[in-house]
Structure 1
Amino acid sequence: MNDSTNDNVIAMESPEAVIARVRDEIGRRGLSQAQVAREAGISQSSLAQLLGGTYAANPRKMTVRLAQWLARLSQQRAQPVMPQAPGWVSTPTAERILAALAYAHMAGDVAVIYGGAGVGKTTAAREYAARFPNIWIATMTPATAGVTTALEEVCLALGFRELPGGGARMQRELVARLQGSEGLLVIDEAQHLSVAALDALRALHDATGIGLALMGNELIYARMTGGTRAVWLDRLFSRIGRRLRVQRVVRDDVAALAAAHGVEEAAALRRLVEIGGQAGALRAVGKTLRLARMMAAGQGTELGADHIAAAWADLTGGAA
């Protein structure tokens, strides 16, 4: 059923029929009204009134959205099931990242982990946080480059229910929370931070003795070692106890991920190694594997090099 046919069916179906189908879907799948309302893009109170027969306004607009939700469910069921990605996969590069995080954590020191995108820095940090208590990951963006906004992200990572007003007060509250925690603060995408924000994080480390790991691309380290800004980062640079540059993944990284997805064909592994050497590295390999497994499942065949090539072509718009 194409989109125009779906639109015609939705337009022709009565509100009563749509509501009856929604009730059936909720009962059959054990869904909550909150979940249905969220997925359909309507308020939970409107859905409750529609299902209870007490909706006072014209229900057409609401039931069109519910019909669209039902159509999307039907479309999803018609597609091959998207295979679940494997859980944590230990790779040589991941173990190097874990070791750098462990050093910063146990020594109460500063580690800088930097390099290319998609090499597994964030995944490794999340795995480390899953293994030990008091590991906090704050992810920065261009919108959190300043001192106050960066400290807000750290507060949120620590689970503050209410954000203290102003950067100075946040700094004091964070010091009070972090002192004696024996924890590790991981700052992901740290290249987005201003010099002043980096210095504020350095001050947190100095005041509390917690481990601090700065993760990002090549820019985060380059800013500390060269150019006109280097002098302002001397206080932080002199405190770095561990530097780890992860420029690209190695063949064994790709092989470990491929094995976790059940890849056995040598030609398929060779193609994945080629993909891992391009932009995006393991992230690109993981996306390719998921789509390739979906294609193989839809055909009822074993995953092979042809599926890898087709999936990569689909993800890159046909680029080699």
Structure 2
Amino acid sequence: MNAEKQTQDNVVSLYPAHYSPDDIKQIGEIKAWMAETNYKQAALARLARISSSSLSQILGGTYATAPGVLLLKISNAMKHAEDQAADSVVAVETGVYRVAMSAFQMARRYKNFSVLSAYVGTGKTFAAKHYLRNTPNTYLIEATPTMTVQSLVKLLARMVVGFDKGSIDDKFRGIVDELKDTDSLLIVDEAETLTPHVLNTLRRLRDMAGIGICLVGTEHLSGIVRSKNQNFDQIRSRIGYWRETIERISADDARALTESAFADDEIADDVAARLYAYSQGSARMLMEAIVPAIKQARSGRELSAALVDAVVQKALCLKPLALEK
């Protein structure tokens, strides 16, 4: 028996029988990651949305049942923490984020349309950009009110084919040829700004190339696609995923975002409640205005409801609103 095998056997012997070899390997990777990144165990537990005691027991080999499900949550939290280093907003799995992922995956899997409509600031665009960065064969178009069929096709040609030479029809057929028989997904953000002619062009692209398309937009998108105008009949019949419009993030979502932003702090219930009330249910307001203002003015002080009130009311002139959970 060589020294490496002896070491592996010694490590395995430290854990109970209900810990699988994959569990033990993953625990080693978690410990190494925390040591390398200097990430605190309590902060990782909060980001994974499990108790500190559960994480401690898992890592110490004293957790009473198989830890595979919680290890997956911890692994996802580590990935989120790494994303935080590159993103101004960490990819916390909020309710909006999960709905967005379902919309993207359903459109890709069944090569059909899906619709994601939500009020501004709820995180739908962030979810789309995160999915784009992390999923091959994904294309994102940010639509504008002035977008024409010609500008849409030119933009897609540059994205998909790499150039936009030839007539509009040549470019369109080149895009179809490039995407056909692939698992590609096209995400169209701000889709409520598109004209019926442009939407019809997207429908033809979906039909001819056999790809999934997700239309992402504000609450106005649902009204446009549901319109009795015959221009949208053929798109409606191709929609395989369409949830009710999301009006705001939940209190639990706001807390998860707050815990990711203040990873080294225990977030008291009154602090979480105040931050949610000031955010008015907007992830954007919370993460791009309120949290930076507090971090800027905090100067080492304890994160308290009084501090939140003082900073947010003075720096942002916001008043808390009573929001449903």
Task: Tell me how large the CA RMSD over aligned residues is.
Answer: 2.3
Name 1:101's counterpart in structure 2.
104
Deviation at 1:123, TM superposition (A): 1.4
Q: How does 1:1-320 map to 2 (within 5 A)?
A: 85-144=88-147, 146-158=148-160, 160-227=161-228, 230-244=229-243, 245-262=245-262, 264-278=267-281, 281-287=282-288, 288-296=290-298, 299-313=299-313, 316-317=316-317
Going from structure 1 to structure 2, the CA distance change for 1:311 and 1:190 (only over 3 Å counts) comes to: farther
Deviation at 1:242, TM superposition (A): 0.6
Contact (CA 8 Å) 1:115, 1:217: kept in 2 or not?
yes
Equivalent pairs counted in the alignment come to 230
Larger radius of gyration: 1
C-alpha distance in 2, partners of 1:188/1:86?
19
Deviation at 1:274, TM superposition (A): 0.9
Deviation at 1:157, TM superposition (A): 3.9
C-alpha distance in 2, partners of 1:315/1:182?
47
Give the TM-score normalised by structure 2: 0.65
Identity %: 24
Contact (CA 8 Å) 2:89, 2:287: kept in 1 or not?
no
User: What's the secondary structure of 2:115's corresponding residue?
Assistant: strand
Contact (CA 8 Å) 2:120, 2:218: kept in 1 or not?
yes
Contact (CA 8 Å) 1:137, 1:157: kept in 2 or not?
no
Going from structure 1 to structure 2, the CA distance change for 1:225 and 1:92 (only over 3 Å counts) comes to: closer
Deviation at 1:307, TM superposition (A): 4.1
C-alpha distance in 2, partners of 1:142/1:185?
19
Deviation at 1:85, TM superposition (A): 3.5
Q: Unpaired segments of 5 or more residues in structure 1?
A: 1-83
Name 2:23's counterpart in structure 1.
none
Contact (CA 8 Å) 1:147, 1:200: kept in 2 or not?
yes
Deviation at 1:162, TM superposition (A): 2.6
Q: Unpaired segments of 5 or more residues in structure 2?
A: 1-86, 321-325
After superposing on structure 2, the runs of 4+ consecutive aligned residues of structure 1 that deviate more than 6 Å are: none
Deviation at 1:94, TM superposition (A): 0.9
C-alpha distance in 2, partners of 1:314/1:165?
57
Deviation at 1:127, TM superposition (A): 2.3
User: What's the secondary structure of 2:146's corresponding residue?
Assistant: helix
Contact (CA 8 Å) 1:105, 1:184: kept in 2 or not?
yes
Contact (CA 8 Å) 2:278, 2:318: kept in 1 or not?
no
Give the TM-score normalised by structure 1: 0.66
Deviation at 1:314, TM superposition (A): 5.5
Going from structure 1 to structure 2, the CA distance change for 1:86 and 1:140 (only over 3 Å counts) comes to: closer
Which amino acid counterpart does residue 240 of structure 2 have in structure 1? Answer: G
User: What's the secondary structure of 1:269's corresponding residue?
Assistant: helix
CA deviation profile, 1:138-188 (whole Å, cap 9, x unmatched): 1111232x1112223333443x54323443222112111111221110001
C-alpha distance in 2, partners of 1:132/1:276?
30
C-alpha distance in 2, partners of 1:318/1:255?
19
User: What's the secondary structure of 2:242's corresponding residue?
Assistant: strand
Contact (CA 8 Å) 2:132, 2:138: kept in 1 or not?
yes
Going from structure 1 to structure 2, the CA distance change for 1:314 and 1:123 (only over 3 Å counts) comes to: farther
C-alpha distance in 1, partners of 2:319/2:165?
49
